[in-house]
Structure 1
Amino acid sequence: MTHKKVGVRQCTSYSLEEKLIVVKYVQENERNAAAKHFNLDVPMKKHSETSGRKAFYLKAEKILYSWIIEQRKKGFAINYISIRLQMCKILKESSIQALYSVGEYEFQRNLSWINSFIKRFGLSLRRKTKISQKLPEDLEEKLDEFRRYIIRLKTLYNFDLNSIFNMDETPV
């Protein structure tokens, strides 16, 4: 079966018909063969579904991911430092050192690796917040005491009522 060649264009804009021909060829062969057959440019050959750099320590990263999930289930906060320290600990394990020629000291411990790891595994470093504060049992008593205190201050210093206001947070 002969396949229609897709013309190479300078602006890399292809019609739907041309794209369908390439997709069909890829399904019958493989992506690199299609790129070569249709003379597609290098960036299109290298395009993959997952962007970014591939993991060098894939098995170690899977162990790290499991550890992070376990820590989250326990309610512990995870940050960049804890991720880095745990990865170094994992890389010191003999079963992991046997897999990789470079050890923990060769490991790229910078923020870009952590960000790439987080992106590869679809993680985020958001923290779980408290649902709400619990009100004190003697709430009514404390409110009455506070009202009496305000009335005493108003009487003592002769405040106008419009000078008294409620504020939940401190202004900046």
Structure 2
Amino acid sequence: MARGNFGIRCARVISKRNWHWSAREKLMIIMYYESGHSKRSTADKFNIQPKQLCEWINNKEKLLNAAFYTQRLNTDAPKKESYQANYPDIKNAKFSQKWVDGFMSRHKLVNKRKTTVAQRLPEDYVEQQGNFLSYILYCRNEHNYPLSLIGNMDETPMAFNLPSNNTIEQSGIKTVSILSTGHECSNFTVVLACMADGTKLPPVIIFKLKNILEMTWWIENVWTRRASQNNNPRSFLVLDSFSAHKTDVVKQRFCEKKTDLAVIPGGLTSRLQPLDVSLNRSFKAKVRNLYNNWMSKAIKDYTSSGKIKRPSYSLVASWVKEGWDAIDTSMIRQSFKCCGISNATDGTEDTLIFDFNQLESKINRENLGREVEEDGENNDKENESESEGNDRNELEDDKSELKDNYYEENEEQTVIQDWS
């Protein structure tokens, strides 16, 4: 009888399939074990041997520093350390500017202008982002969310005055004055949210006018209405570590809406939040273009002291809507994959994680195409006859008046207090 039991046990072990686990999947299994499960139950759940699990636990530090798509750890010395050991005098080498220019030209290297001020990453950011991505993978394997139910929400601050950072002036001029409304310190907040399949949720503008519980208001009026036709299905939402996202009231409200939360560790939104990676910058660039067009073409009102009045709430709301509508849905999908949130669970898309270069090139192509399109539209307008232009201006005035009336009637419903 003991002999028969031994045979059955061996047969069960042999029947396990030979699966090549990536570093991200191994960390996800380790996290499941560390949440209070035994090694035997963990091994049975993921169809692995306990010996494998023990080996992964012992190599957890190496797994955290490995690429997420790596299936086998490299035991050799890192290339950087071995290079420094072989060439200890490299730090004393001197190069001329001509040699540096030639080297950069041969290897197609260029100097890039700073576009954002990024947070300083924490010292243990590799371990934190590894644990976060492993938790994402674990939740997706447990609940099998469709991409249309995986979302990201972020609050981005904006100002009523959005002058361009670039201008044209004669060579040698050290100080250049840029016309503005003088409201650089008058800020408002825009709440943006999108889904992993490219769906864009309606933006919410928060002005400093009304005192409302902002987060619960957003849950009821934006997040819940998104799924009203599907009877509030189980969803997954990625948020940053802003204190308003972690209150008991907000957590309870999300729990009632069947929404599982993943809070990004502090200081890692520049790597793990899709809206921060690329979408916020493209959105603000579009709004800034609309502001610059308004400053250069529109007839502006002035205060009693002679300063330009800031744009109205209704005009700002139209800029926000137009800027958000202009975001390409394919860039939203790619941003989620670049942050490791919506990648295929079988590991076939893990190479897209943190591929910021490809995402950066896509953003640059989109911005360049938009500039060319706007230049073409401006040239067409200049070639039109004067009479047609007058008729068009009268029609646009009528439309703008109707649009302003619409926003003025609905402004009280959408204007709530600033997050700050």
Q: TM-score normalised to the size of structure 1? A: 0.24
> Which gives a bigger RCO, structure 1 or 2 (Cα 8 Å, sep 6+)?
2
Q: TM-score normalised to the size of structure 2? A: 0.13
Please tell me whether Structure 1 or Structure 2 has the larger radius of gyration of its CA atoms. Answer: 1
Structure 1 or 2: more strand by fraction: 2
